[in-house]
Amino acid sequence: MEGPRTADDVGVVVDALVNGELNLIGQITEASNVALLCEVVDVEAAEAVTGGPVRVIYKPVRGERPLWDFPDGTLAGREVAAFTVSRVGGWGVVPPTVLRDGPFGEGSVQLWIGDPFGETADEHPVDVVPPRRIPTGWLSVVDGELSDGATATVVHQNRDDVRDVAVLDAVVNNGDRKGSHLVRDGAGALWGFDHGVTFSADPKLRTVLWGWAGKPLRDVDTERLERLRGLLDDAESDLSTTLAALLPRGDVRALQRRVVGLLRVGVHPQPRGGWPAIPWPAL
C-alpha cells in the first residue's frame, strides 16, 4: 500500500480514517501494546489514493501497557501528535493517523504502509552489515553484538529523506526509533511509524539514526523548525489547540523548548549520558 502524496490526498485518507467503518482482520502479535490490523470499508476515494484496500493499525487505549515514564492512556494521543507535527511542520513522513472510537474503544488509527502480510519485500533504510564494511551511500552508527555472539555494524542510508526523519525524531523526542519503524512504499517514499513513546518532557531520544550527530542542520531543517516555532508560539493556532487536546501541557512546552534549542545550536543532537542512545535490537 502506498502513502498519500499531496495535501489533498492526505485529507482524503484522514477523512476515511475518521469516518470509515473498521473491519478487524487480525492482531500484530509481536507488538508491545495491543495493535490490530483492520480494513476501512466503503471508502472508494481513499482506495484510489492508496492504490488498494485501506488497511490500518488500530491501537486501542485500553490495550496500552502501563509504562513507568509515560502517563497511562496517553500513547494513542502521542501517535496522533507525531502525525500532526510531521504534517504541519512539512516533514510528511508519518502516515495519516487519527484518534477515534473503534471496536475496542478509543484509540489511534494509522494508515498501514506496505504489505501487511509480508508477501512482498519492503525496503528498509537501516541495516546490519559485517563489522566496518559500510556500503557506499550508507553511514555507520554503532558496532554491536548479535544474539549468536557475532559482531556487526548498524548502518543507515545517507539520504535526505532519512535525514528528515532524524530531525523530526529530535523534535518529537522519539524514545524508540528502531530500523523496523521505517519503510519505503512502492513508489520509494519513506514513512516512519510507532510513535507512542514521543513528546516526553524529559530527554529520551533513542534512535538508530545517529549518522549526522553534531553535523550542521540544513537550510530546509531550519525553515521547518522556524515554521513550527511560529505555530507553537501562537496559542490560537490549529497546531497549538490540537496538541493541547492530545498531550499533557508540560510535554507541549517541552516541544517548544526543543524547537527553540535546535534552532539555537543549529546542529543535529548527539547522544547524551544517562539514557540509552540506541534501541536494541536496533532493527
- Summarised one tens digit per residue, pLDDT across range 154-183 is 899 999 999 999 999 999 999 999 988 999
Residue 17's closest CA among 39, 49, 48? Answer: 39
Check residue 147 and give its pLDDT.
67
Q: What is the pTM of this model?
A: 0.93
Average pLDDT of each block of 10 consecutive residues along the chain (283 residues)?
Answer: 87 96 91 92 92 95 92 96 97 97 96 69 79 90 76 92 97 93 90 95 94 97 98 96 97 98 97 80 68
66 three-class SS:
coil
Contact 180/283 with Cβ under 8 angstroms?
yes
pLDDT tens-place string over residues 210-256: 999 999 999 999 999 999 999 999 999 999 999 999 999 999 999 99
How far apart are the two ends of the chain, measured CA to CA in Å?
Answer: 22
Give residue 251's Cα distance to chain centre.
Answer: 17
CB count, 10 Å around CB of 207?
26
In one letter, which amino acid is 250? G
> Where would I find the H helices in 160-218?
160-172
Check residue 117 and give its pLDDT.
59
Distance CA 233, CA 21 (A): 37
Pairing of strands 36-41, 54-60: antiparallel
Check residue 119 and give its pLDDT.
46
Check residue 133 and give its pLDDT.
85
Distance CA 41, CA 53 (A): 8
CB count, 10 Å around CB of 267?
13
DSSP 128-169: EESTT-PPTTEEEEEEEE-TTS-EEEEEEE--HHHHHHHHHH
Pairing of strands 21-27, 36-41: antiparallel
DSSP state letter for 210: -
Beta-carbon contacts of residue 250 (< 8 Å; ≥ 6 apart):
201
Residue 155's closest CA among 122, 177, 130, 173? Answer: 130
Give residue 119's Cα distance to chain centre.
Answer: 23
Stated as kind and residue range, the H or E segment containing 283 is none
Query: Is the backbone of residue 55 left (phi > 0), alpha (psi -120 to 50) or beta?
Result: beta
Check residue 21 and give its pLDDT.
95
Query: Is the backbone of residue 158 left (phi > 0), alpha (psi -120 to 50) or beta?
Result: beta
Residue 58's closest CA among 38, 40, 78? Answer: 38
Contact 55/37 with Cβ under 8 angstroms?
yes
Check residue 182 and give its pLDDT.
94
Mean pLDDT, the chain, integer: 92
Residue 216's closest CA among 265, 160, 258? Answer: 265
The ranges assigned to domains in the chain are 7-119+158-265
